[in-house]
Amino acid sequence: MDNDGTLFSSGVLTEGLIREMRPPESLWKDKKGGLAVVECPQRIPCDPCASNCPAGAIKPFADINDTPVIDHSRCTGCAICAAACPGLACFVIDLTFSHDKALFKLPYELLPVPSRGDAVDCLGRTGEVLASGRVEAVTEPKRDRTRVIHVSAPKDLADHIRAVRAVKRDV
């Protein structure tokens, strides 16, 4: 996948890998609830995304070291994969949320936990602030302790926003 070694020296996905892992355009723009994006390019012994997907959208691994393969037509956007992934490599993006905003369902393991209506900084793959977002919901899946933060943010940043940071409030 990463012939030039850039990913493994920098830890950041190359543009080619990002395009490879993106859901098909034909499904992504019209799929209510969103589609899972799994940015997991390295073969490691891990399969919670596949073993926890209730829709079977993340195909079972033939080998525990396989990289995830998604049947996006089966994905419901439930974000259980985001809560289950120990590497925080799974998330859901819903481009049908509004005319100019997408809904990002992102794993969140930090404190403080933002609440519905809070402003958050939306971050890129290297931690840079790309935009301000609004928390629409916070879910705590029953099987995993990783919360999933549902954040509305500019739709044109769908390929770039990958995390959020709570904004400090004045005390």
Q: Do residues 95 and 29 lie in contact, with contact meaning Cβ atoms separated by under 8 Å?
A: yes
Predicted local distance difference test score (pLDDT) of residue 140: 86
DSSP 100: S
How many angstroms separate the CA atoms of 115 and 112, rounded? 9
Q: In what order do the strands lie in the sheet with 147-154?
A: 35-38, 90-94, 101-108, 147-154, 129-139, 119-123, 163-166
Predicted local distance difference test score (pLDDT) of residue 161: 96
Spell out the domain ranges in the chain. Answer: 6-166
Predicted local distance difference test score (pLDDT) of residue 86: 92
pLDDT in tens, the chain (171 residues): 445 555 556 677 777 777 777 788 888 778 899 999 999 888 899 999 999 999 999 999 999 999 999 999 999 999 999 999 999 999 999 999 999 999 999 999 998 899 999 999 999 999 999 999 999 999 987 776 799 999 999 999 999 999 999 987 554
